[in-house]
Amino acid sequence: MRCVKKNKCIFLDRDGTINKYKGLISKPEDIELINGAAEAIRIINESEYLCIVVSNQPGVAKNLCSLDTAWEINERLKDLLIKRDAYLDDIFICPHHPEKGFPDENVEFKIKCNCRKPETGMIEQAALKYNIDLSESFLIGDTSIDVKTGSNCKMKTVLVETGLGGMDEKYKVVPDYRMKDIYEAVKFILKE
């Protein structure tokens, strides 16, 4: 029986980790890369790790943008990276939000799901699709939600000081590592 080697992945949060944090992004033109983000992703591309984004996008449920627009925003992110010779292996988003009562909310997406971080659905989908060994993988993000997600998936976690820098305080969690930004985090991971 042939043994298939599992892949390793550096999972990335999007807003505040790769692109500048501007609250809920509702238009493609709002995407602006953090300094060093494209370089960091290019370094991942040159390594043995996959590079996959996992991002909560509650703006869809709150009707700040459509699901199609959410994907256009991600296409803009990919285009900005490609212009700097970097690419993402995939992007997984959760358009849901469990809390109801927002003006003009999109009720189709106002559900409790298993994909909204810190739930593990997006990462489980990626692990299945790409044969990823989560115990050999990392999650880099700017919130306690990201740290909790990585912990829930038995991955090593890196909290970056960009974006919210862990100040969301939604969960009492401690990251495995704390770094200035995505560039510093990737350089550190790939030295390990």
Q: What is the pLDDT of residues 73-123, one digit of tens each?
A: 999 999 999 999 999 999 999 999 888 777 788 888 888 999 999 999 999
Within a domain: 3: no
Within a domain: 2: no
Query: Do 53 and 90 form a contact (C-beta atoms < 8 A)?
Result: yes
90 is catalytic: no
Within a domain: 84: yes
Q: What is the pLDDT of residues 128-150, one digit of tens each?
A: 999 999 999 999 999 999 999 99
Catalytic member of 13, 89, 146, 181: 13
Binding residue numbers for Zn(2+): 94, 96, 113, 115
Within a domain: 1: no
Binding residue numbers: 13, 15, 94, 96, 113, 115, 142
Within a domain: 87: yes
Q: How far apart are CA 128 and CA 74, in angstroms?
A: 22
Catalytic member of 15, 89, 146, 181: 15
Q: How far apart are CA 104 and CA 91, in angstroms?
A: 27
Within a domain: 27: yes
15 is catalytic: yes
Within a domain: 45: yes
- Into how many domains does the chain fold? 1
Range of the domain at 20: 8-191
CATH at 115? 3.40.50.1000
Within a domain: 141: yes
